[in-house]
């Protein structure tokens, strides 16, 4: 028997906020604009769940172009506008959070600014307050375990007392590598079958989350 669960570590995009479908739509436009057109299925495979810096580095490596300035001005504004207009919480997450009485935090591949922006737009920011951790806080982002280990350390919990709620292959791999149990949400952009594996329970209805803890 493992330790009783004491801490739930939530990914943000695709778990708390329904941002990934919006972001992928913009990703496709941005990639075409910089000369690397890509179908949405490949975008999911290559980039979902990983830090934005990874995508930027891959774009520059593949195209041979310096797109950093445009990335943080023109393209960043496109994502921001789409979120402001259309972003909502993931269906069922508000009900799930209402029913969970364990400690919670967020550990996301996004920047602190982006995490707070999207949680603020969806009315979820006050539920996590100062318990928000970003890939900016660690040397290596997902699929490496660093971010989840950092979150557990900051929250004062052992890895065996943590459960991670994720929806991407990179995130699930990071949680497993950290030695944490994973609840993998399979109703997002990544098919549930791709999230299956050791120490992992795949589910497709967020309102069922509390009963899986």
Would you name the residues annotated as active-site residues? 11, 13
Backbone φ/ψ region at 98: left (φ over 0), alpha (ψ -120 to 50), beta = alpha
Cα end-to-end distance, the chain, whole Å: 14
Measuring CA to CA, how many Å separate 121 from each of 28, 35, 102, 161?
A: 23, 32, 24, 31
CB 119 within 8 A of CB 125: yes
Backbone φ/ψ region at 185: left (φ over 0), alpha (ψ -120 to 50), beta = beta
Tallying the residues shown for the chain, one arrives at 213
């Amino acid at each position: 028997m493992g330790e009783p669960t004491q801490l739930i570590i939530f990914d943000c995009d695709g778990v708390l906020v329904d941002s990934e479908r919006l972001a992928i739509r913009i990703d496709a436009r941005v990639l075409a604009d910089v000369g690397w057109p890509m179908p949405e299925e490949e975008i999911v495979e290559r980039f979902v769940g990983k830090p934005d810096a990874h995508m930027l580095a891959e774009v520059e490596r593949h195209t041979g172009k310096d797109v950093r300035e445009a990335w943080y001005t023109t393209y960043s504004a496109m994502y921001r506008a789409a979120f402001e207009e259309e972003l909502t919480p993931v269906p069922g997450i508000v009900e799930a959070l209402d029913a969970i009485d364990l400690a919670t935090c967020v550990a996301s591949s996004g920047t602190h600014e982006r995490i707070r922006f999207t949680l603020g737009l969806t009315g979820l920011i006050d539920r996590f307050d100062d318990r928000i951790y970003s890939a900016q806080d660690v040397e290596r982002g997902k699929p490496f375990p660093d971010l989840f280990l950092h979150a557990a350390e900051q929250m004062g919990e052992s890895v065996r007392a943590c459960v991670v709620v994720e929806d991407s292959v990179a995130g699930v791999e990071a949680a497993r590598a950290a030695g944490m149990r994973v609840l993998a949400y399979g109703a997002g952009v990544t098919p549930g079958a791709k999230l299956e594996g050791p120490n992992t329970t795949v589910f497709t209805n967020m309102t069922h989350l509390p009963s899986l803890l």
